[in-house]
A and B are shown apart, each in its own frame.
Chain A
C-alpha cells in the first residue's frame, strides 16, 4: 500500500519563538484538504539540494478546518538537516508534497476524561486534539512543561481558550509537575496521553505503571529522528540490488533511492509499516524503533529501516 499524497503550497511561515516556526499548507488547486482526527501527523517531503528528506510532523490545526494544515517545526541544529531545511529554505508560495494524514496518537473517545502531559514541542498533537474535544465535548486537563516562558509555544493561546484546564510549568523557574498527586486523583476511566522529550515520556509511563495505571490507558507518541552513523552495505534479496547507506541517510531512504518501493507511514519508528524481514546478517543490527518488541529485536529477524542501522559485514533483507 503506497501512501496517498497531497499537493500543497506553503501559505504562511511564522516564527513562534527562537526555536520553533509554524508552517501553513493549502492545496494547490484550491480544493479542501481532507479533514483529519486529533493527533494525526503528515509526512513532509523536502527536496534539499539533491537529497530527499521526509519527516513526520503532527498536525496542529483544527482537524475540521479543511482550508489548510499547520505544523510547527523545532529547529534541531544537530539533526540530519530536515528541520534546518524547513527553517532556512521553506518560504510562502513554495510548492511541496505532504502525505495524507495518518493517526498513530488518536484519542480514546470512550474515556471519561483525557489527561494530557506535554513537554516542549510535544504540544503540537494536543493542539488538534483539544480543538476536536472543544467541538465534540469531553473532559480534559493539560499539564504543559517548557524550559521557560519564551519557549512555551502556544501557551497563551491555550490558556486564553481553555483557562483553568491548562496548567503551565517552567523548568527554569523550578516548576515541576507533581505527577504522583496528579495520577492519584484522576477518575476511573481516565486515559493519559504524553508527548515530549524521551526522558519525560519514560518518566510518566513508568510512574503511571507503578501506580497501577493499565498500559491500555497510557498513550504516547515519539517520532525518532533517524540517527546518523557509519555507512554500511545492504543486499536487497527480492530486488537483487546491493546498496550503501550513507552516514546521514536512513536505510529506508537508501532503499528508496535505489528505486525499490518500500512501505511507510511515519518514518519515525512508531507505525510498523516498514517492518522488513532480515534474511541473513553477520554483525549487529542497531535497533532504534518503538515498534518491535524486545524479543523481536533480540531475535534479529526483523528491522525497521526508517530508523535502525547496521554495523558489521553482511546484511541481507527481504525487500
Chain B
C-alpha cells in the first residue's frame, strides 16, 4: 500500500506505533492522565447525557474542538491501510456532497485556529490552501469543486482527522445516516447501515429503545443549532489496541477474545472510549457526528487509583445485556477477577477526572 501523504517524521510528540500486527500502541504517562475516562460514578446505565461541546479544561480532550493527540499520525496511517483494504468503509450517498464540504470547512477552520503550529488554512475567495504539517500535506484547491480534491470532501478531510464520522440528513422528522467513514468503529458496518434512519441504525442497541433514550436524543438533536455543538460519551471493551473492530473483519479479530489470561489481561484488555460530538452544518443543514476513539490498556488505567476502583465496580455490576452487546460477556469474569486486585473498597470521588496528585 502506498500512502498519498508523506508523514513529517514522527517526533517527540507524535508516536510511531501500530494498531495491528505487533500492536506497539501505548499511551504516554501524560496521555493517560488526559484519557477521557467515561464513568462519573461507580455504576453504569444508559443516559442521553449530552452537554454543550464547549472548550473544556486545559490539556483535556475537550480543550479543542477536534482533539489532536500523540496518536494522530499513526492513526491516519492505520486509516489509510483500512481504506486500501476495503474502500466500502467510506461511502457518501450522492445528495450528501454538500454536507461533506461543510465538514471539511468545519474541520479545517477549527484545526487551523486551534493548532496553528500544525495546520494552516489560507482563503482567497473559494481558492483555498491547506497545510497539514504532521502529515506533510500542502494542497491548494477550490472550495465546493470536487474536481480539485483527490477524494470526495468528506473522505479527503477525514483521512486527516482522528475519529469516525457520519453525516446525517434531516427529513421526515428524523435523521438519516446518508454518509459515513468508519475505520475505528465498535462493530458496526458503514456499508450496511448507510441510508438508515436514526431508529434503524440504533436498532441493535439493547434496552435503550425501551427506556426512550433514542426518542429523547433524537428530539434533542433535531433542535441542534449551527454554532452550538454537543458531546457525549460511549464506551466498550477491546482486546489489543485494535482500532478497526469492524464486523467486516470480525473473523480475523474475533479469536483474540479467547486469548486473555490473568497474566496478559492488563496489557491486552483495553477500555475503548468514544467521545461523540455532534455539529449542525450550515450549508447542508445536515448533522455531523464525530465518533472519536480513545484506547487505554487496563495496566495504563490502573495508574490512576480512582479509575482502578471504579472500573472494577462498573464491570462487575453491569447489566448482562449491555455486557453482551458490548461484546465482553465471555471475558467479564476474568476482567472482574483481574480488576478486583486494584479495588481496595474505598469510596471514589464524583466525576470522571483523576484525583489531583
- Is A36 in contact with B283, judged by CB distance below 8 angstroms? yes
B residues less than 8 Å from A103 (CB atoms): 285
- Is B228 in contact with A1, judged by CB distance below 8 angstroms? yes
* Contact partner, B170, options A106, A110, A136, Cβ 8 Å: A106
Nearest opposing residue in chain B for A5, CB measure = B227
- Is B283 in contact with A63, judged by CB distance below 8 angstroms? yes
* Contact partner, A64, options B95, B170, B283, Cβ 8 Å: B283
Query: Contacts A3-B225, A101-B226: A37 and B171 contacting too (C-beta < 8 A)?
Result: no
* Contact partner, A216, options B98, B170, B172, B282, Cβ 8 Å: B172
Any B CB within 8 A of the CB of A303: no
Shortest distance between the CB of A190 and any CB in chain B (Å):
15
* Contact partner, B282, options A37, A108, A110, Cβ 8 Å: A37
Any B CB within 8 A of the CB of A35: yes
Any B CB within 8 A of the CB of A205: no
Any A CB within 8 A of the CB of B223: yes
Nearest opposing residue in chain B for A4, CB measure = B227
Any A CB within 8 A of the CB of B218: no
A35 to B227, CA, bound (A): 11
A residues less than 8 Å from B189 (CB atoms): none
Query: What per-residue 1/0 map shows which CB atoms of A239-280 lie under 8 Å from chain B?
Result: 000000000000000000000000101000001010000000
Q: Which of A17-70 contact B (CB under 8 A)?
A: 34-37, 40, 63-64
Q: Which of B97-130 contact A (CB under 8 A)?
A: 98
Shortest distance between the CB of A29 and any CB in chain B (Å):
15
Q: Which of B273-315 contact A (CB under 8 A)?
A: 282-285
Any A CB within 8 A of the CB of B244: no
Query: What per-residue 1/0 map shows which CB atoms of B169-195 lie under 8 Å from chain A?
Result: 111100000000000000000000000
Number of residues from B at the complex interface, CB < 8 A? 19
- Is B226 in contact with A109, judged by CB distance below 8 angstroms? no
B residues less than 8 Å from A37 (CB atoms): 282-285
A310 to B132, CA, bound (A): 59
B residues less than 8 Å from A35 (CB atoms): 282-283
A residues less than 8 Å from B224 (CB atoms): 1
Q: How many A-B residue pairs lie within 8 Å, measured between CB atoms?
A: 51
Question: Which of the listed residues B98, B172, B226 has the most CB atoms from chain A within 10 Å of its own CB?
Answer: B226
Any B CB within 8 A of the CB of A195: no
* Contact partner, B144, options A36, A109, A135, A265, Cβ 8 Å: A135
- Is A265 in contact with B172, judged by CB distance below 8 angstroms? no
Q: Which of A131-164 contact B (CB under 8 A)?
A: 135-136
Any B CB within 8 A of the CB of A102: yes
B residues less than 8 Å from A130 (CB atoms): none
Any B CB within 8 A of the CB of A83: no
A37 to B95, CA, bound (A): 14
Shortest distance between the CB of A102 and any CB in chain B (Å):
6
- Is A36 in contact with B172, judged by CB distance below 8 angstroms? no
User: Which range holds the interface residue count of chain A?
Assistant: 20 to 34
Shortest distance between the CB of B172 and any CB in chain A (Å):
6
- Is B282 in contact with A36, judged by CB distance below 8 angstroms? yes
Shortest distance between the CB of A231 and any CB in chain B (Å):
31
Any B CB within 8 A of the CB of A100: yes
Query: Contacts A35-B282, A265-B223: A109 and B228 contacting too (C-beta < 8 A)?
Result: no
A103 to B144, CA, bound (A): 21
Shortest distance between the CB of B175 and any CB in chain A (Å):
13
- Is A4 in contact with B226, judged by CB distance below 8 angstroms? yes
A174 to B223, CA, bound (A): 43
Q: Which of A103-136 contact B (CB under 8 A)?
A: 103, 106, 108-110, 135-136
Q: Which of B24-62 contact A (CB under 8 A)?
A: none
A36 to B144, CA, bound (A): 14
Nearest opposing residue in chain A for B283, CB measure = A35
A residues less than 8 Å from B285 (CB atoms): 37, 40, 103, 106
A64 to B285, CA, bound (A): 13
* Contact partner, A100, options B98, B220, B226, Cβ 8 Å: B226
A156 to B144, CA, bound (A): 28
B residues less than 8 Å from A263 (CB atoms): 223
- Is B227 in contact with A100, judged by CB distance below 8 angstroms? yes
Q: Which residues of B contact A (CB under 8 A)?
A: 93, 95, 98, 144, 169-172, 220, 223-228, 282-285
10 further A-B contacts with Cβ under 8 Å, apart from A3-B225, A36-B282, are A1-B220, A1-B225, A34-B226, A37-B283, A37-B284, A63-B283, A100-B228, A102-B225, A216-B172, A263-B223
* Smallest CB-CB A-B distances: 4 pairs: A109-B95, A37-B285, A35-B282, A4-B227
Q: Which residues of A contact B (CB under 8 A)?
A: 1, 3-4, 34-37, 40, 63-64, 100-103, 106, 108-110, 135-136, 216, 263, 265, 271, 273
* 14 contacting pairs across A/B (C-beta < 8 A): A1-B223, A3-B225, A4-B225, A34-B282, A36-B226, A36-B283, A37-B285, A63-B283, A100-B227, A106-B170, A106-B285, A109-B95, A136-B98, A263-B223
